């Protein structure tokens, strides 16, 4: 049987690239993988697109990633050559159960998903470790996506991937989260109904990794040359290896082989991802590397088949265990495509937010508007009564770090409600500890420039706030900036003229979030509920290289 990827080329396509409703193509000022000479450098995405899966449909590649509690969720990226990627949409506009995810749920929500193209539709199976395995479908990758349905309800069911077999049977492989299920390091295969919408049996454990492959998870299911293959990471997120299992029978027994590890490369824990092929017949593997505060970034590795086993990356000693490459020739896809990268900066000139933005919870329609004047208006929202700091505030608008070093600057005007005190707007670096620079209203006393910081925010530690400069005249544009320096040290600064910036003390040390890297973004909050809010008009948000 031909590879799963090759089967996709036979599908009748109901859309074309010209119909993709994506933002205008952009080129990052801080990280571009395409070297412009027929080669690329890893990572192809130096941002936190963790737990990637991908498929090819004709000449187009589509990739998705876990999104945990961030909304919109399940980002969908598109590429023509596996090197140049853009964000084209999200499969989850809101995350169910809707009331549950109206509050921050750090580390919960969408874990490792799978995407396949079958019977003229895109299918995404994703796990929520607290509720079960969901399915959402669409004929067009930009949507609309169907309302998610539970394929199987339960706790601890994670990392699902389907397989439509040649005899008409439909299977689902998944892993287990020890934190919810009380067991991990095993993989289970279950039957689904013909529609692929329901699990119909209790399943069978087909691999136990306790002795050789602890924390085996993230399985991806394929069939090739009569073999069933399960690609699965093992050994832990930052320290593990890429495992492949194969069998002539769907339920095994499965042979085991390590096909990629760190070797002599600088890439720790290279694993979990997707096998794809090109229209010209080449094989490639997309996977992540855990870079701590920067999140799980995406690498692209060449792949070849040797005696019906995949070898991923470079294999200098010929033992069948590859190691990651840092630079390599670009995939042969039949032609050369322009350099593009996911959106980072936003001028707020359209009627929708850039696709790089996500909230900390299911959003409400009163959190923001786009004014048709080329700015984003953020309305102050009352922080939850039980929130000890911004870690627990839903209406924080965030995006991923685009690379290790960069500058982010925003220009805004703050118009607080004069009847309120303690309305705030700011630029924030958010992880389990956070810091921000911003403006705070103190009613009739005026608007003050502030710096806030919370060490161990995820443990409920309070924010320490310092007034930096006061008062700021009303209707005055203020420029807020943070430079993300080496080792994620973040130097905040501000300006009243857009030219001369004043630093805010010593750099803040950014740290990880819950299963994710640190993020950067904007917030507008208040502590009192009355019948109207103040607001901030954000003219633009720009990511640039360090000077």
Q: Which residues are catalytic?
A: 51, 217
Buried b or exposed e, range 240-271, using 16+ CB within 10 angstroms: bbbbbbbbeebebebebebbbbbbebebbbbb
Q: Which of 443, 355, 428, 438 is nearest to 393 (CA)?
A: 428
CB–CB of 538/375 below 8 Å? yes
Instruction: Name the maximum alpha-carbon separation found in the chain.
Output: 77
CA distances from 377 to 412, 533, 538 (A): 9, 12, 6
CA distance 158 to 475: 50
Q: Which of 264, 275, 245 is nearest to 315 (CA)?
A: 264
Reduced to 3 states, what is the DSSP secondary structure of residue 487?
A: helix
CB–CB of 392/530 below 8 Å? no
CB–CB of 191/169 below 8 Å? yes
Reduced to 3 states, what is the DSSP secondary structure of residue 117?
A: strand
Q: Which of 443, 356, 359, 360 is nearest to 402 (CA)?
A: 356
Q: How many residues does the chain have?
A: 547
Tokens 């499965």 appear where?
A: 254
CA distance 33 to 328: 11
Q: What are phi and psi of 197, to 5 degrees?
A: -110, -10
Q: What are phi and psi of 378, to 5 degrees?
A: -105, 120
| Structure-block tokens of residue 396 | 């924080």
Contacts of 37 (CB under 8 A, 6+ apart): none
């Amino acid at each position: 049987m031909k590879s799963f990827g090759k089967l996709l080329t036979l599908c009748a396509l109901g859309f074309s690239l010209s119909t993709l409703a994506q933002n205008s193509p952009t080129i990052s000022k801080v990280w571009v993988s395409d070297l412009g000479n027929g080669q690329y450098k890893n990572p192809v995405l130096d941002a936190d697109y963790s737990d990637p899966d991908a498929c090819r449909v004709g000449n187009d590649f589509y990739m998705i990633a876990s999104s945990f509690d961030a909304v919109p969720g399940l980002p969908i990226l598109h590429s023509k050559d596996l090197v140049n990627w853009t964000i084209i949409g999200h499969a989850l506009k809101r995350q169910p159960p809707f009331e549950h995810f109206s509050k921050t749920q750090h580390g919960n929500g969408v874990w490792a998903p799978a995407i396949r193209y079958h019977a003229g539709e895109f299918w995404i199976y994703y796990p929520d470790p607290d509720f079960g395995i969901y399915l959402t479908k669409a004929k067009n990758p930009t949507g609309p996506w169907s309302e998610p349905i539970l394929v199987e309800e339960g706790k601890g069911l994670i990392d699902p991937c389907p397989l439509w077999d040649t005899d008409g049977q439909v299977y689902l492989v998944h892993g287990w989260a020890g934190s919810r299920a009380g067991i991990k390091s095993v993989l289970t295969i279950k039957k689904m109904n013909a529609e692929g919408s329901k699990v119909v049996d209790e399943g069978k454990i087909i691999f136990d990794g306790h002795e050789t492959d602890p924390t085996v998870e993230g399985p991806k299911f394929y069939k090739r040359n009569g073999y069933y293959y399960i690609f699965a990471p093992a050994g832990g997120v930052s320290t593990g290896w890429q495992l492949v299992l194969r069998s002539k029978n769907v339920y095994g027994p499965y042979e085991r082989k390590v096909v990629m590890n760190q070797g002599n490369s600088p890439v720790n824990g290279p694993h979990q991802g997707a096998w794809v092929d090109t229209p010209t017949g080449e094989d490639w593997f997309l996977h992540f590397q855990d870079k701590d505060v920067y999140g799980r970034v995406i690498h692209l590795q060449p792949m070849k088949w040797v005696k019906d086993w995949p070898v991923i990356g470079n294999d200098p000693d010929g033992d069948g265990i590859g190691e990651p490459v840092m630079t390599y020739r670009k995939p042969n896809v039949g032609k050369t495509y322009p350099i593009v990268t996911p959106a980072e900066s936003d001028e707020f000139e359209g009627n929708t937010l850039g696709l790089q933005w996500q909230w900390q919870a299911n959003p409400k329609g009163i959190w923001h508007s786009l004014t048709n004047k080329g700015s984003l208006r953020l309305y102050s929202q009352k922080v939850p009564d039980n929130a000890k700091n911004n870690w627990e505030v839903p209406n924080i608008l965030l995006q991923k770090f685009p690379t290790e070093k960069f500058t982010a600057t925003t220009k805004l005007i703050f118009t607080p409600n004069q009847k309120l005190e303690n309305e705030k707007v700011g630029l924030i670096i958010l992880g389990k500890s956070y810091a921000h620079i911003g403006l705070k209203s103190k009613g009739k006393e005026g608007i003050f420039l502030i710096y806030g910081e919370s060490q161990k925010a995820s443990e409920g530690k309070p924010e320490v706030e310092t007034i930096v400069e006061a008062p700021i005249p009303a209707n005055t544009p203020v420029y807020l900036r943070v430079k993300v320096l080496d080792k994620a040290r973040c130097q905040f600064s501000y300006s009243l003229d857009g030219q001369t910036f004043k630093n805010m003390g010593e750099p803040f040390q950014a740290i990880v979030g819950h299963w994710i890297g640190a993020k950067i973004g904007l917030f507008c909050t208040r502590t009192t509920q009355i019948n109207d809010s103040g607001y901030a008009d954000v003219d633009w948000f720009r990511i640039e290289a360090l000077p």
